[in-house]
Amino acid sequence: ETGVTQSPTHLIKTRGQQVTLRCSSQSGHNTVSWYQQALGQGPQFIFQYYREEENGRGNFPPRFSGLQFPNYSSELNVNALELDDSALYLCASSSPPSTETQYFGPGTRLLVL
């Protein structure tokens, strides 16, 4: 069984740029959630994808967008990067009926200068 993987591990961007982060879900999982974890904070829910459709969204602006592919892997795109977007971005996968039990990837650390 393959766990959740994320790429890249680290990324440095400048303000105003765009970034794409990638996530491969655990084998057999069709639901992917994305979280932003700022330093010293708990993960904050960005959105969730289920069978290629956005299935719920947290309090993040539209410049945070995503995709899920037929193989259930997912991308998080952030446009017009701001300094406050610097954080660890976590991807978690799950599968009905236990979508609340999530399996996390190692994260992508994004630094915006």
Partner 1 sequence: AQRVTQPEKLLSVFKGAPVELKCNYSYSGSPELFWYVQYSRQRLQLLLRHISRESIKGFTADLNKGETSFHLKKPFAQEEDSAMYYCALSGRGGYQKVTFGTGTKLQVIP
**For binding to partner 1 (CB under 8 A), which residues are involved?**
4, 33, 35, 40-45, 48, 50, 55-56, 58, 90, 99-107
Nearer to partner 1, 68 or 81 (CB): 68
Strand partners, 65: 77
Of 81 and 108, CB closest to partner 1:
108
36/81 with CB nearer partner 1: 36
CB of 10 to partner 1, least distance (A): 15
As measured in angstroms, the least distance from the Cβ of 17 to partner 1 is: 27
Instruction: Kindly state the smallest distance separating residue 45's Cβ from partner 1, in Å.
Output: 5
What's the rounded Cα separation, in Å, for the pair 80 and 75?
16
